[in-house]
Amino acid sequence: MGSKAGTAQAAAFHSPMISRTEALLMLGGASLMLSIAMGLRQSFGLFQTPVVKDLGIATADFAMAIAVQNLVWGMAGPVAGALVDKYGTRWVALGGALLWILGLTVMWQASNSLMIMLGCGILIGIAQAATTVGVAAKIAAQVVVPGRRSFAFGLVSAAGSIGTIFVAPLGQMMIASYDWRVGVLAFIGIATLMLPAVWFGSRIDSIAQSGRSSSGLPASATASSASASQSFAEVLTEARAHKGYVVMSLAYFVCGLQLAFLTTHLPSYLATCGMDPMLGAQALATIGLFNVFGSWLFGWLGDSYRKRTLLGLVYLIRAVVVTIYFITPVTPASTLIFAAVMGMLWLSVIPLVNGLVLDIFGVKYLSTLTGIAFFSHQIGSFLGAWGGGFIFDHLGSYDRAVQFTVIIGFIAGFAQLLMYDKPTERMAQAKLQPAE
C-alpha cells in the first residue's frame, strides 16, 4: 500500500494536500503577477527616446534610472526573500504591487531626471523584488511536488514574458498615438491587475496556516525538518561555503548584464540604424512570446538533465547569437529572428537556478538564497543598463558594449559548465533518512 501511494504521489503534479483547482488558482495568480511585473519592466526601453527628448535630459540619465532600478531590485531581493520565507508571500507581494502603482505615478508626473530616478528607479526597483521571481518561485515550490518543481518553475517563468507580448506593443502604440505620459498611464492600469493576482496566488499562506501540509511528501518533509533548526546566519554561512552556489551567483551577473543591456538599449540601437520605432516594440514582444516556450522547455529539461550543463549552454548560445546579430546588417527580419532566438534563452535560466538552489539547499530558504544570487544578477543589470548608455554617449555607438557582453558571456558559460552542484552535507544526510 505504501509503495502504491508513493507512486501515485510521485506521478502527481500538485501536492496531494490541495485540490487541483486550488493548485491551478495559486499557480495562475503567481504567473499573472510575474507576467505583469516582468512585462512592464522589460518595456521601459520604449520610453527612453521620448522621455529624453521631452524632458531635455541625457540618454545616460534615463539609463541610470533603469540601472538604479535593477540595482535596488537586487539589493531588496534578499530582504524580500527573507520576509517571504519567514512570513509568507501575501503581504510582501501586495506591498510590491502597491509600490508598482506608486512608482509609475511618480514617473507619469516627472518633470526632471530626479523624478524619473525616484519613480522608475527606486520605487519600481523595490516593487520588483516583491513581485517577481523569488515570490513566484516560493509559491510554485509549495504547490508542486518535488519531482516536478523545475518544470513548474519553467511554467511560471514562461508567464513572466507573456506580459511583454501585450505590454510592449500597447506602450508603443500609446506613445506613438499620444505621448509617453499616456503610455505610463496605461502601465498604471495594467499594474493594478497585480492586486487580485497576488491575493489569489498567495492563498498557499492561508492553507499552510490552517495546518494543511504544503508538500505532503515524506521526502520533502524530511528535508524541511532538516532545515527547520537552521538560523538565518547559518544558512548564509552554508551558502557562502558552497563553491558551486558562488559560481552560479557570479554567472548570474552576466545574465543580468545581457538582458538589461538589450531591454534598455535595443530600441535605441534600432533607431540609430534607421529602423521604425515600432520594430523595437515588436522585438520585445517577440522575445516575450518565444520566452514562453524557452522557459517551459528548459524547466522541463531541468527535471531530467543536469541543470548546470543546461545553464552553461544557455550562456554560451546567447554569446554566439549576440555576436552574429551585431556583426551582420540590421534588418527587420534579422531583428525578429534574433529576438526569437534570444527569447528562447531569455528567462530560461530562472527554473534552472531555482532548481539548483532547491537541489543544493532545500525549500525552506529558497526565496532568500535565490534573492541573494539575484543580487549578483542585478549588479550586472545595473552595468548593462547604465554602461550601455554611458558608452553610447561617449563613443557614439554600442560596439564596445556588445563586445564586452559577448566576452563575459563565454566566460560565464564555461564556468557554469564546470560548477560543483552537489547538495550540502545537511541535505545529503536528510535524503538518506528513512521516510516515516
Cell numbers representing residue 92 in the block: 510582501
* Cross-strand partners of 14: 144
pLDDT band with cut points at 50, 70 and 90 for residue 81: confident
Full residue range of the structural domain in which residue 251 is found: 24-204+232-427
Question: Closest by alpha carbon to 25, among 196, 148, 145, 193?
Answer: 196
The 3-state secondary structure of 201-244 reads HCCHHHHHHCCCCCCCCHHHHHHHHHHHCCCHHHHHHHHHHCHH
φ/ψ bin of 375: left (φ > 0), alpha (ψ from -120 to 50), beta (otherwise):
alpha
Predicted pLDDT at 216: 41
Using the predicted structure, report yes or no on whether residue 97 has a pLDDT greater than 80: yes
What mean pLDDT, rounded, does the chain reach? 83
Predicted pLDDT at 78: 86
Decide if 13 is inside a domain: no
Decide if 435 is inside a domain: no
Predicted pLDDT at 277: 78
- Helix axes 133-143 and 20-41, enclosed angle (nearest 10): 170
Q: Number of folded domains in the chain?
A: 1
pTM of the model: 0.74
- 356/311 Cα distance (integer angstroms): 10
* Cross-strand partners of 144: 14
Cα of 34 vs its chain's centroid, Å: 8
Residue 21 burial (C-beta neighbours within 10 Å; 0-12, 13-18, 19+): exposed
- 131/72 Cα distance (integer angstroms): 14
Comparison of pLDDT for 117 and 371, the residue scoring more: 117
Decide if 225 is inside a domain: no
Q: What is the CATH number of the domain that holds 168?
A: 1.20.1250.20
Cell numbers representing residue 135 in the block: 515570490
pLDDT in tens, 303-342: 888 999 999 999 999 999 999 999 999 999 999 999 999 9
Decide if 18 is inside a domain: no
Task: Determine contact, residues 45/282, Cβ cutoff 8 Å.
Answer: no
CA distances from 297 to 290, 354, 355, 370 (A): 11, 15, 14, 21
> Which residue intervals of 303-365 are DSSP H helices?
307-327, 332-345, 349-361
Residue 305, SS3 per DSSP: coil
Using the predicted structure, report yes or no on whether residue 219 has a pLDDT greater than 50: no
Decide if 331 is inside a domain: yes
pLDDT band with cut points at 50, 70 and 90 for residue 205: low
Question: Closest by alpha carbon to 16, among 32, 5, 25, 31?
Answer: 5
Residue 144, SS3 per DSSP: strand
Predicted pLDDT at 390: 86
Decide if 98 is inside a domain: yes
Decide if 349 is inside a domain: yes
Mean pLDDT within 46-68: 87
pLDDT in tens, 138-181: 888 778 777 777 777 887 777 766 777 788 888 889 998 999 99
Using the predicted structure, report yes or no on whether residue 18 has a pLDDT greater than 80: no
- 212/222 Cα distance (integer angstroms): 16
Percentage of the chain lying above the pLDDT 70 cut: 88
pLDDT in tens, 372-427: 888 898 888 888 888 888 888 888 888 899 999 999 999 999 999 999 989 888 77
Residue 19 burial (C-beta neighbours within 10 Å; 0-12, 13-18, 19+): exposed
Decide if 134 is inside a domain: yes
